[in-house]
Amino acid sequence: MSVDGVQMVETNILAAEVLTAIIGLPEAQRETLVLVYGEGYSYAEAARALGIPIGTVMSRLAAARSSLARLKEGS
């Protein structure tokens, strides 16, 4: 299998774990993550939809990514 192929398989395996981890995130982080990465909202759109400042969108996404990144570090 090529390096790209191995990476794809790893990504897919991790995706299942990531989805489980997303479900376990605090609600505020989870809803922001869904809007931006699941639905393709821009930060500004997500901020409007959630009624929060863009900075809060950024910090929520950073916190969520940080939690999820630990999965990869541990795998």
Partner 1 sequence: MSPEDAELVGLIDNELDEDAKRRVLMRLAEDEALRKRYEALRDIGPSITASFKALLEKAPSSRLRAAIPPEVAPRATYWPFAGITLRGLAAGFAIGLLAAGAAAWVALSFAPHEGKEDWQAAVVEYMELYTNETFAFDDIIDPSVEAKKLNAIGQRVGATLTPEDLAVPGLRFKMAQMLSYDGVPLAEMAYVDGQGAPVLFCIIANGGADAPTRSERRGDYSLTSWSHAGRSYLVVGRLPEQQTTDLARTLEKRFSKS
Closest Cα partner for 65 from 13, 18, 20?
18
**Residue 23 DSSP one-character state:** H
61 contacts: CB under 8 Å, gap ≥ 6 = 29, 32, 33, 36
Smallest distance from the beta carbon of 53 to partner 1, in angstroms? 11
| Rounded least distance, CB 73 to partner 1, Å | 7
Query: Among residue numbers 35 through 64, which ones bind partner 1 (CB under 8 A)?
Result: 35-40, 42-43, 49, 55, 58-59, 61-63
58 SS3 class: helix
Residues in contact with partner 1 by the rule CB under 8 A? 11-12, 14-19, 22-23, 27, 30-31, 33-40, 42-43, 49, 55, 58-59, 61-63, 65-66, 68-69, 71-73
